[in-house]
Amino acid sequence: MKKMMITILFILVLTACGTGTETAAPNSSIASTTDNTTNTDSALRPVTRDAETAADVKADQTPAVATGETIEETAVFPGDDLMSQANMEAAGIVLIYQRAGGLKGIGPSQYVWTFYADGRITSSDGRSWEVAPEAISNLTGDMKSLGFLELDKNYVPEDTCCDRAFHTISFNDGDQVYTVATLDGADMPESLLNILDDINEYLMSLPTE
């Protein structure tokens, strides 16, 4: 009888342990989903106009682009257009905006947003939107009125330290592609700062889902 009771108790203990293991799995799954959601939150932030401010951005203020690689390996510089004019024309693309760099070790190395004449906007993180074509033409029209076509191609300083984001804008005006590159906190015209602000503010106004 004692042996039988010991056997029954042993079986009950094993059953209880097995039940505890099974109930732990859903919690692990939920945690993983939460982590993924956190990592895919908005890829955008306002343009940083001050190099010192850029270096002081905290981890909970995730920049639009952050990288664990060297910036030189990811940024697109003037002369290395994101797409040729022929390809942009064929695809109906009027504007490409890239951000690369930022705080190291947080998120992807770069993001690219592509604006189409028909109102489509796509992001390199897989998201896409459809807006009125007039919204795209208004944005590019504002860029032209701010003097984008008169800007120099390169406002990237020799000293790119530290943890700052590169910005590259390629605009197809129908005749050729104009590409301008700059860096957070770099010495650049106010018009370029305003253009970067306009693009980022427009992207941040898009639905996040």
Give this prediction's pTM. Answer: 0.64
Question: Which CATH number applies to 51-205: 3.30.1560, 1.10.150, 3.30.160, 2.60.40?
Answer: 3.30.1560
pLDDT of residue 182: 96
As a whole-number percent, the residues of the chain with pLDDT over 90 amount to 47
Give domain limits for the chain. 1-39, 51-205
**Alpha-helical segments (H) within the chain:** 2-39, 51-55, 85-91, 133-145, 190-205
154 vs 22, more confident: 154
> Does position 56 have pLDDT exceeding 90, yes or no?
no
pLDDT tier, 14 (very low <50, low <70, confident <90, very high otherwise): very low
